[in-house]
Structure 1
Amino acid sequence: MAGGNAIRGTRVGAGPMGESERGETAPRVRVSYWCANGHETKPSFACDAEQPESWDCPRCGLPAGPNQQQPPAPPRNEPYKTHLAYVKERRSDADGAAILDEALTRLKAHREGV
């Protein structure tokens, strides 16, 4: 149980500050963005700020655009590839056999030398 004289922490921006202490906010405009699932998102921007072409939908995570009839297409998901799949893309079976033979030859030579 904390004593009566315990020091309590505060965070920046906490407390009963009003606009008089913080300054006035910039004029805002709300812009509608739609995703491929039909979700509408309305973030607000400062009137003089440049509005982005796309915005991530907070409901489904798909990209959203300002045109309701033509929302951005969902990104194409590449399937997960293992390290072996990437190696097989770079090397042929003959390359793999040659590398394996070389490694086995070095291993045999090392064992015979020991």
Structure 2
Amino acid sequence: MGEAERGESAPRIRIPFWCSNGHETRPSFASDAQIPETWDCPRCGFPAGKDRDNPPDPPRTEPYKTHLAYVRERRSDADGEAILAEALAKLRGEI
């Protein structure tokens, strides 16, 4: 199936984008399309911008936290001791 069967293709433009690692990406867009501010770099996955000298900062990823780490953020050691004492008292039948 050639261009004759599909009709003419829309006029295209190639826009350069650069990521913080210096990778250049040139996706093609229809000439009347709205050009996005950022584009994902296909090499490293970081966001890329149109300004070569000031590319977007890479996203900050938080390290994986366990359930216990989240509990420790919400509770103090004194709270933990009180909850533990209450749970042990229930198991011993004191409550």
TM-score of the superposed pair, with normalisation by structure 1: 0.73
Are positions 1:106 and 2:90 aligned together?
yes
**5+ residue gaps in structure 1?**
1-16
Q: How far apart, CA to CA, are the structure 1 residues paired with 2:67 and 2:56?
A: 32
Are positions 1:60 and 2:67 aligned together?
no
**5+ residue gaps in structure 2?**
none
Q: Residue type matched to 1:25 in 2? A: S
| Larger RCO, structure (CA 8 Å, separation 6 or more) | 2
**Match 2:60 to one of 69, 76, 80:** 76
The Cα RMSD (Å) is: 1.7
Number of residue pairs aligned between Structure 1 and Structure 2: 94
TM-score of the superposed pair, with normalisation by structure 2: 0.86
Q: How far apart, CA to CA, are the structure 2 residues paired with 1:40 and 1:31?
A: 10
Cα deviation code 1:63-108 (max 9, x no counterpart): 1100011111122222222211111000111111111112112222
Q: Flag the structure with larger Rg.
A: 1
